[in-house]
Amino acid sequence: MSMKNPPANNHGAEPFAFALLQWPAMFGLLSLGDSGWPWVARLALGAWLVLSVVAGYSGRRGVGFGNTMLLLLACVVGAWWCRSSAWAVLWLAPLLIGLLAAQQALAGGGRAKAADSDVA
Q: What is the pLDDT of residues 30-73, one digit of tens each?
A: 888 766 667 888 889 899 999 999 998 988 888 888 999 999 99
Q: What is the pLDDT of residues 7-40, one digit of tens each?
A: 555 667 888 888 988 988 888 888 887 666 678 8
CA 86 to chain centre: 24
Long-range contacts formed by 20-23: CB under 8 A, 24+ apart: 21/48, 21/52, 22/49, 22/52, 22/53, 22/69, 22/72, 22/73, 22/76, 23/73, 23/76
> According to the model, what pLDDT value does residue 51 have?
93
**Lowest model confidence (mean pLDDT) among 32-41, 73-82, 85-94:** 32-41
Prediction pTM value: 0.73
Measured CA angle at 58 (ends 10, 99), to 5 deg: 50
